[in-house]
Amino acid sequence: MARHETILSVFVASPSDVDEERNRLEEVIRELNIMWARDLGIRLELVRWETHAYPSFGEDPQAVINGQIPQDFDLFIGMMWYRFGTPTGRTGSGTIEEFQLAKERHGRDGSSPQMMIYFKDAPAPIPPSKLDHSQLAKIADFRASLGKEGGLFWSFISTEEFEKLVRLHLTRHVQAWRSRNCLKEQSSVFIEAKADTVKFVDQAKEDELGLLDLMEQFEDEFGMLQEITERIANATVEIGEKMQARTAETEAFNSGPDHANRKAAKRLIARAAGDMDQFVHRMKAELPLFSQHLNSGMNALIQTATISLEFNIERKDLEQIKENLEAICQFRETMKSVEEHISGFQKAVASLPRMTSAINRSKREMVNVIQLLIDEFRSAQVLAREAETSFESIVSPT
Q: What digits encode the pLDDT tens for the residues 38-77?
A: 667 788 988 876 654 444 555 555 555 656 566 778 899 9
pLDDT value, residue 51:
53
Give the list of residues 6+ apart from residue 340 with CB closer than 8 angstroms, or none: none
Average pLDDT, integer, range 202-220: 69
Q: Which is more confidently placed, 51 or 224?
A: 224
Average pLDDT, integer, range 32-38: 79
CB-based burial label for 141 (10 Å; 0-12, 13-18, 19+): exposed
pLDDT value, residue 190:
36
pLDDT value, residue 79:
94
By the 8 A CB rule, do 15 and 28 touch? no
Q: What digits encode the pLDDT tens for the residues 134-151?
A: 999 999 999 998 876 555
pLDDT value, residue 78:
93
Supply the Cα-derived Rg of the chain in whole angstroms. Answer: 26
d(CA 71, CA 65): 11
Orientation of helix 357-395 relative to helix 315-350, angle to 10°: 160
CB-based burial label for 52 (10 Å; 0-12, 13-18, 19+): middle
Share of the chain above pLDDT 90, in %: 29
pLDDT value, residue 359:
87
User: 113: cis peptide before it, omega within 30°?
Assistant: yes
d(CA 178, CA 42): 9
pLDDT value, residue 40:
73
In 3-state terms, what secondary structure has residue 63? helix
Confidence band of 26 (pLDDT split at 50, 70, 90): very high
Q: Facing residues of 114 across strands?
A: 75
By the 8 A CB rule, do 40 and 311 touch? no
> Is pLDDT above 60 for 193?
no
Backbone angles phi, psi at 42, to 5 degrees: -125, 135
Confidence band of 22 (pLDDT split at 50, 70, 90): very high
Q: What digits encode the pLDDT tens for the residues 241-296?
A: 998 888 888 888 778 777 778 788 888 888 889 999 999 999 999 999 999 999 88
d(CA 14, CA 48): 10
- Break the chain into its structural domains and give their ranges: 2-206, 211-395
Q: What digits encode the pLDDT tens for the residues 158-180?
A: 999 999 999 989 988 887 777 76
By the 8 A CB rule, do 173 and 75 touch? yes
pLDDT value, residue 147:
75
Question: In one letter, which amino acid is 43?
Answer: R
Q: State the CATH architecture for 2-206.
A: 3-Layer(aba) Sandwich (3.40)
- Strand 189-192 and strand 2-13: the pairing is antiparallel
Give the mean pLDDT of the chain. Answer: 80
